[in-house]
Amino acid sequence: MNEGMTWTTEGWQQRGSAGWILPGIANLHSHAFQRAMAGMAERQTNPEDSFWTWRETMYRMAARFDPESLQAVAEQLYVEMLESGYTTVCEFHYLHHAPDGRPYADSAAMSRALIAAARSTGIRMTLLPVLYMTGGFDGRALGERQRRFGHSVEAYLRLFESLREEEDETLRIGCALHSLRAVPPEAMRETLAALPEEARVHIHIAEQIGEVQDCAAIRGARPVEWLLANAPVDRRWTLVHATHLTPAEIRGIARSGATVAICPTTEANLGDGLFPLREYLNANGAWGVGSDSHISVSPVEELRWLEYGQRLNTRHRNIAVREGSPSVGETLLRDAVSSAADATGFAPADEDAVTLDDRAPQLAGAAADDVIDRWIFSGNRNLVDRVEVAGRAVVESGRHVDAERIASNYRRTMRVLMGD
């Protein structure tokens, strides 16, 4: 059905025989295991609850996972992604070892569980094994609950090379540096020097004010400022969150060609702050979205709340537009799709497509110049009817082709994870 389809600035939607067809969307930031704790960190632990108190809940959940349970949870998550219109996921993966920090007999067992989940469900994956070495900018050792995340540079590069042997049409292996606080400068340089030229590099950065303050105090510069001055940041890089930026940092990221992965629902859930979208668009910066902790698994909600956050902050409407395109929805979709190749390492995939439900009342009478706006801003019903990845139909009539089996396995796994 989609043979020969191309997405251009003249058309980010096409009318097919079954309905409106949109390009598949890349989810640029995912921690799959966190899908299992969605909704479980919404009780106040103290009046100063923040990312750092949420992290304690996350650590407790992370300690329960093994390869089998990780695959089951990831499969359910990837089904939900596909059913909502994501066709590619960048999996930022740091649960490498057993809960006590000892490597599994197969040191890549947890990574292979994620690969198996992606192949089982049919989603494209850029797997980003994470280098995580220290517990703060001061170089402190990893805490007890962080030990399962850790690698030396040498061990990390062995893992990276072993995973590259798995690459195929729907799998790419990239590199994730967890954050500047978790990767010392010399380790970052050594790792980057050993990577293949085409490898994608993702990093958490400037997510919380405390992180910015610590970096400035110890490294003498703000996180993005330091990174741009000390690493070869270019189109292969994706800066995750990058929430707290100065005007100079905004311009610097845009000039570098790097992509910012904005995760509006997670950033809102954690109270992190709002990305300076209008200023970044003015600098012609590249960006995409991610669902991160998966308190929502919907590109519509990420894109909608990216725009709504800006409206609340500025008390104006229709913020995310670029010159020559007054449609907010079209700008949001076009920008998210246009950044995907640089962030994921996949060439633009014409055979990945999302067909909207032509029978949905929200799309009654839709035309080319309003269908994307209607899709994003007309309500909470999922309007996705069919999804194709690499030419294979993975969602039909709004449901993943293997949804029942995967959901049944997920329910069993959750009962075990929750000690029931």
Q: d(Cα 24, Cα 388) in Å, to the nearest integer?
A: 8
31 is catalytic: no
Q: Which of 241, 244, 294, 400 is catalytic?
A: 241
**Minimal CA–CA distance to 223: which of 268, 253, 261?**
253
- Residue 345 in tokens: 């390492």
**Minimal CA–CA distance to 240: which of 303, 196, 179?**
179
Position 83: which residue type?
E
Q: Which of 97, 178, 202, 292 is catalytic?
A: 292
- Residue 209 in tokens: 């004010």
Burial of 9 (0-12, 13-18, 19+ CB in 10 A): exposed
CA distances from 260 to 87, 253, 353 (A): 19, 8, 23
Cα–Cα–Cα angle for 250, 258, 28, rounded to 5 degrees = 110
Cβ atoms of 295 and 57 closer than 8 Å: no
Position 167: which residue type?
E
- Residue 46 in tokens: 């103290």
Cα–Cα–Cα angle for 342, 347, 348, rounded to 5 degrees = 95
3-state secondary structure of 274: coil
66 is catalytic: no
Residues with Cβ within 8 Å of residue 112, at least 6 apart in sequence: 67, 106, 166
Burial of 133 (0-12, 13-18, 19+ CB in 10 A): buried
Cβ atoms of 279 and 247 closer than 8 Å: yes
DSSP conformational letter for 187: H
Number of H helices, E strands in the chain: 15, 15
User: Virtual CA dihedral for 44, 46, 50, 52, nearest 10 degrees?
Assistant: -110
3-state secondary structure of 287: strand
**Residues involved in catalysis:** 241, 292
